[in-house]
């Protein structure tokens, strides 16, 4: 059951009185620093720490520092989150992809990522649901670390969405190789009162007055009144908040890239500029991830190579790529050129690429065409059926909606044959 979105912020405060008997309990430096939004070097310095653990008393002390900043659990719930010990449980680890090149699994990304072994993934490319923007075919509610139960993208506030995105990034960090990269595609949302629709084409139809439904007849609506500080019509700044928190949980923010779409949606507002860019946040597990800049000049255009006439000779933080055709029954696809470029830049042949929100499988398609292995998760059986069909076509060396020969997987020496 999809709920309407009303910007409600629960009123809570940190209660330390009940924690007396737990003050000496110990927690890992890795988890506590991610929850505190501080680097381990800072925490070690502040506490003159010699070990890799912190007591709850030390965590409470750090919660009083000016340097504290929320990441994926609100301040009032951090002791509870640590004491619940969810992350120290032994989880079953899967190696479902062994022997297979492309694996697509139905389920909740938050749970499935935790079932992956550590240090196996070379590259993550994904586009999560954006906040309060789309209805997907399946609506799966998850209980998040901040206590909210909702589907990703259907939080009551943008703050909730930022926390949940960062919780996913936190779990991804463990499964990434040290040389790995995460490419996180995201678009901002305005705090407005609006209907939530299934696709851009449905929104376009409504703009042209071809949607006869009244406000009350929509399956799901988003309201703007009641937020703790955002006014109606204000931009929420979600991508920059996710990027900042990714840094606070221990990623290197390598770049915030603007993806200028060749065909962007019209917007009917006169008081501001029209948006034509989405964001791709490039994160790394260390300062120098594997990175092959030459892929930009070597890849075919459909797989993310330079877009002549639109992009310069050197690769910059503005990418001009087409929007997806939307022909595959998914209302929020990205073009194969987007994951293609990310994969080409940050992996080698046979490396393992993960898309935890794989939808119609664009990331797996790009991985197959570039000779990489892939894992994709999605909650929707129908999207996964589309993804399987598209990956099968890609494995035979063709683009699902076009023509391309498979590359030899080596972007450095690859020569690409065109039909």
Q: Give the residues lining the site for ligand SAM (CB under 6 A).
A: 108-110, 127-129, 136, 138, 140, 142, 151-152, 330, 332-334, 357, 359-360, 362, 377-380, 383
Min dist. Cβ of residue 292 to ligand SAM (A): 23
DSSP string, 281-301: EEEESSSS----TTHHHHS-G
- Give the nearer residue to ligand SAM in terms of CB position, either 37 or 356: 356
Residue with tokens 């987007």: 338
Q: Is the dihedral of CA 318, 323, 328, 330 positive or negative?
A: positive
**Cα within 13 Å of Cα(145), Cβ side:** 31
- Give the nearer residue to ligand SAM in terms of CB position, either 54 or 336: 336
* Residue 305 Cα to chain centre, angstroms: 23
Min dist. Cβ of residue 12 to ligand SAM (A): 25
Distances (CA, A) of 315 to 62, 267, 311, 318, 370: 41, 29, 8, 8, 19
Min dist. Cβ of residue 86 to ligand SAM (A): 17
- Tell me which H or E stretch contains 270: none
- Give the nearer residue to ligand SAM in terms of CB position, either 58 or 87: 87
- Give the nearer residue to ligand SAM in terms of CB position, either 43 or 394: 394
Q: Is the dihedral of CA 87, 90, 92, 95 positive or negative?
A: positive
Q: What does the alpha-carbon distance between residue 276 and residue 267 come to, in Å, rounded to a whole number?
A: 10
- Give the nearer residue to ligand SAM in terms of CB position, either 29 or 385: 385
Min dist. Cβ of residue 63 to ligand SAM (A): 29
* Closest residue by beta carbon to ligand SAM: 359
- Give the nearer residue to ligand SAM in terms of CB position, either 58 or 188: 188
Min dist. Cβ of residue 153 to ligand SAM (A): 7
Residue 257: phi and psi, rounded to 5, are -100, 140
Min dist. Cβ of residue 360 to ligand SAM (A): 4
């Amino acid at each position: 059951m999809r709920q309407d979105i009303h910007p409600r912020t629960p009123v809570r405060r940190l209660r330390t009185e009940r924690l007396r008997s737990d003050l000496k309990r110990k927690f890992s430096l890795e988890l506590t620093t991610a929850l505190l939004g501080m680097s381990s070097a800072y925490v070690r310095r502040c506490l003159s720490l010699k070990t890799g653990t912190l007591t709850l008393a030390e965590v409470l002390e750090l919660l009083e520092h000016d340097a504290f900043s929320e990441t994926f659990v609100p301040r009032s719930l951090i002791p509870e989150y640590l004491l619940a010990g969810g992350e120290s449980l032994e989880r079953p680890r899967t190696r479902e992809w062994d022997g297979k090149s492309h694996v697509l699994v139905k389920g909740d990304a938050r749970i499935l990522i935790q079932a992956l072994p550590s240090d196996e993934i070379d590259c993550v490319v994904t586009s999560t649901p954006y906040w309060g923007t789309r209805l997907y075919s399946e609506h799966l509610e998850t209980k998040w670390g901040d206590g909210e139960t909702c589907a990703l993208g259907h939080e009551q506030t943008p703050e909730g969405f930022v926390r949940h995105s960062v919780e996913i990034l936190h779990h991804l960090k463990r499964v990434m190789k040290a040389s790995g990269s995460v490419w996180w595609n995201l678009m901002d949302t305005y705090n407005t009162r609006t209907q939530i629709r299934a696709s851009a084409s449905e929104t376009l139809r409504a703009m042209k007055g071809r949607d006869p439904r009244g406000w009350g007849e929509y399956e799901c609506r988003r309201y703007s009144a009641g937020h703790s500080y955002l006014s109606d019509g204000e931009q929420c700044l979600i991508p920059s908040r996710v990027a900042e928190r990714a840094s606070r949980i221990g990623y290197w923010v390598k770049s915030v890239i603007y993806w200028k779409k060749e065909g962007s949606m019209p917007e009917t507002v006169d008081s501001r500029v029209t948006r034509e860019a989405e964001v791709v946040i490039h994160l790394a597990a260390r300062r120098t991830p594997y990175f092959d800049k030459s892929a930009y000049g070597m890849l075919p255009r459909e797989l993310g190579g330079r877009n002549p006439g639109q992009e310069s000779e050197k690769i910059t933080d503005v990418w001009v790529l087409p929007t997806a055709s939307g022909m595959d029954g998914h209302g929020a696809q990205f073009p194969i050129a987007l994951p293609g470029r990310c994969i080409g830049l940050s992996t080698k042949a046979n490396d393992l690429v993960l898309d935890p929100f794989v939808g119609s499988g664009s990331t797996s398609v790009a991985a197959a065409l570039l000779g990489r292995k892939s894992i994709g998760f999605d909650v929707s059986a129908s999207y996964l059926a589309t993804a399987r069909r598209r990956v099968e076509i890609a494995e035979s060396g063709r683009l699902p909606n076009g023509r391309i020969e498979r590359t030899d997987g080596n972007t450095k020496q690859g020569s690409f044959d065109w039909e």
